[in-house]
Amino acid sequence: MLSGAGHTTPDTLITYYLELTDPAQFRPAFIDDPALDVRAMPNDDVTFYRFMYTEVGYQWRWRDRLLISLDELRETISQPGVSIFVLYVQDVPAGYVELAKHGDSTEVAFFGLRAEFQGKGYGKHLLSFGVQQAWADGTKRVFVHTCNLDSPHALTNYTKRGFTVYRIEGKPMPARYQE
């Protein structure tokens, strides 16, 4: 086991695949607070996107989108069916959710909060917004995956919103997460 990003890296990467297949399964948890606002992010604002990706994901070892050029990133997040929403708390960007439509399913591709906004219930609010948006856009299924490198609260947040685990996969920890 190696240390990094404030915690020990396990030897095995365990990935949980979850889904909602009916809007009736969804259990939203919104916070009624006028200081919170969720806004669509323009898909071509790659500098802001990279800032949010880094701020939200660095502690969880998100690296993939830091390894590609800004042009590649622009192309990736500008694909048809990709929607990005930023949660603001008193006009400060606190986190984001990225949705990617795949046929009649929608993936919660990236989701999280900046460190200073964690532990305040904002994650359940932002996830609820993202799932609600997916259903409003006509999806038939919302899916997501999380792993043992993500926030220790991620899996619980997903299951409390109604997601069910449909597959668990374990494999040796990839080298890129051991740095």
Give tens-digit pLDDT for 91-106: 999 999 999 999 999 9
pLDDT at 44: 82
Render 141-158 in DSSP notation, one character per residue: EEEEEEETTS-TTHHHHH
Q: Where are the beta strands (DSSP E) in the chain?
A: 2-4, 7-9, 12-20, 36-40, 82-89, 92-102, 105-113, 141-147, 164-172
Percent residues over pLDDT 70 in the chain:
95
The DSSP bridge pattern shows strands 7-9 and 164-172 to be unpaired
What token pair was written down for 13? Answer: 């990467």
Q: pTM of this prediction?
A: 0.91
pLDDT at 13: 86
Q: Using one digit for the tens of pLDDT, what is the confidence trace for 1-24?
A: 233 445 577 888 899 999 999 999
- Domains along the chain? 2-177 (3.40.630.30)
pLDDT mean over 39-56: 93
The yes-or-no verdict on residue 140 having pLDDT over 90 is yes
pLDDT at 7: 59
Instruction: Give the integer Cα–Cα distance in Å for 52 and 9.
Output: 23
Instruction: Give the integer Cα–Cα distance in Å for 148 and 143.
Output: 17
The yes-or-no verdict on residue 175 having pLDDT over 90 is no
State the pLDDT confidence band at 179, using cuts at 50, 70 and 90. low
pLDDT at 3: 33
Instruction: Give the integer Cα–Cα distance in Å for 179 and 177.
Output: 6
